[in-house]
Structure 1
């Protein structure tokens, strides 16, 4: 973004970015697109388009017969860094019902479809009280339905939540469990009810598994041809044939599961398993740390309350 753009107000900057988004991804727009999305007047929309023309004259052409602005052949973004993920994520959110097409920046999306997946229901009141407990550093009493064999019935328990996390399919709350005396993950859809609150027992910085960041390095499956390795590296955005991913130790298990990485992946056919771990020994050691019991002893707890 140039010096001129840096001096613009936030509202004007947003509308100029919107203009450029439509020009880049959809080829054109008109004043009505701006007035509908931002709720500004027609004169304001005209002013925004004139301002964009003044700042990026080589990017935009007006067609009087269609009364529409089009991207020029020499179009070069000034206010927007084209991001395919941003465009495609809006398609996905429309398909999943997270936003309507009118709420997105897409006016003329292509015909598209996404794979339907079951939506995990989270009670809005449960989420609200959980967020409040995190924000206010409180413990929260929850009725939780575990699927473990030793607790087949839903039980009331106290937790001290400090974060929420998404594993690619489900939302979890990261919390200290007063019943099991350790930090662990609770699936939000399995929190059936909440009731009382109290001061939190432990601080977030005491959750060492959550706070530790580990590196997971990926590379193309060695069974692929050189050409196939090249396209896999391009597909995953690898540099020098590797993709370095930073992940919280508490989320490492979910990442490995989602990518089907079980330290045996090189033995599977390359056509089924496109990437493998480049640092399996370090990842295995980290996973052992993550899965080791992290119980809190009474001395630690007393020190936390004293602090």
Structure 2
């Protein structure tokens, strides 16, 4: 039996999308955690143990030999296990927060760095880049004349990549370390293009 063909048949049935959703979940559970019991499927979707057994049997018919039942009545992947559904680690871990799916391995998210950005500083950097006018900015090392080229979002913090007139090279600064920006029209705007630096 072609698994995709059978899944399309199930989707066309009344309530079929719900069945396919459960089949996807049970396969993910087996794939990521190494096993599944009927009670886990029952608890996750609020279905009876009988319905959970039916779903597991349906999955077995769609993917013959993909899973085996242990003596403890848990379903585990066989040596020839081959997923039918695409796998997404993020989706699985986020789903793991639901009741009945609790995982001992938790996911913690860092605060969005954009929520703490200094709007006055960012506005000054954007304006400077539009006008091609360097800025004099306070840094932990002292005030520096710089040409802002790029905001780098590394997922946990925001960085500014730009030309430093103090070092005569491209530098990276944490946005949170910069403050008190003022125009510095007395120094040249430097455009960074790969390895070529143009100073008009």
What's the TM-score, normalizing by structure 1? Answer: 0.36
1:56–1:255 CA distance, 2 compared to 1 (3 A): same
Structure 1 counterpart of 2:67: 60
Bigger relative CO (Cα 8 Å, ≥ 6 apart): 2
* Structure 2 portions without partners, runs of 5+: 11-15, 117-149, 175-191, 194-200
Aligned partner of residue 75 in structure 2, secondary structure: strand
Does structure 1 retain, via aligned residues, the 8 Å contact 2:151–2:161? no
In the aligned structure 2, how far is the partner of 1:74 from the partner of 1:56? 11
| Contact 2:152 2:160 (C-alpha < 8 Å) held by counterparts | no
Aligned residues: 131
Are 2:32 and 1:25 aligned? yes
2:80 maps to 1:74 = yes
Shift of 1:57: 1.7
| 2:61 counterpart SS class | helix
CA shift for structure 1 position 168: 5.6
**Structure 1 residues 55 and 256: CA distance shift in structure 2, 3 A:** closer
Alpha-carbon distance in structure 2 between the residues aligned to 1:86 and 1:263: 36
Separation in structure 2 between the aligned mates of residue 16 and residue 253 of structure 1, nearest angstrom: 43
CA deviation digits over 1:6-26, x for unaligned, max 9? 221101000100110101100
Q: CA deviation at 1:45?
A: 0.8
- Find the counterpart in structure 1 of residue 41 from structure 2: 34
Unaligned ranges ≥5, structure 1: 92-99, 118-166, 172-251, 273-279, 282-307
RMSD value over aligned CA atoms?
3.7
1:86 and 2:91 correspond: yes
In the TM superposition, residue 61 of structure 1 has moved relative to its aligned partner by 0.5
CA distance, structure 2, for counterparts of residue 55 and residue 260 of structure 1 = 50
The structure that has the greater radius of gyration is 2
State whether structure 2 residue 161 is matched by structure 1 residue 262: yes
Query: Which residue does 1:109 correspond to in 2?
Result: 104
- TM-score, normalised to structure 2, is 0.52
Where does structure 1 differ by over 6 angstroms across 4 or more consecutive aligned residues?
A: none
Conservation of the 8 A alpha-carbon contact between 1:256 and 1:262: no
CA–CA separation in structure 2 for the residues paired with 1:113 and 1:107: 11
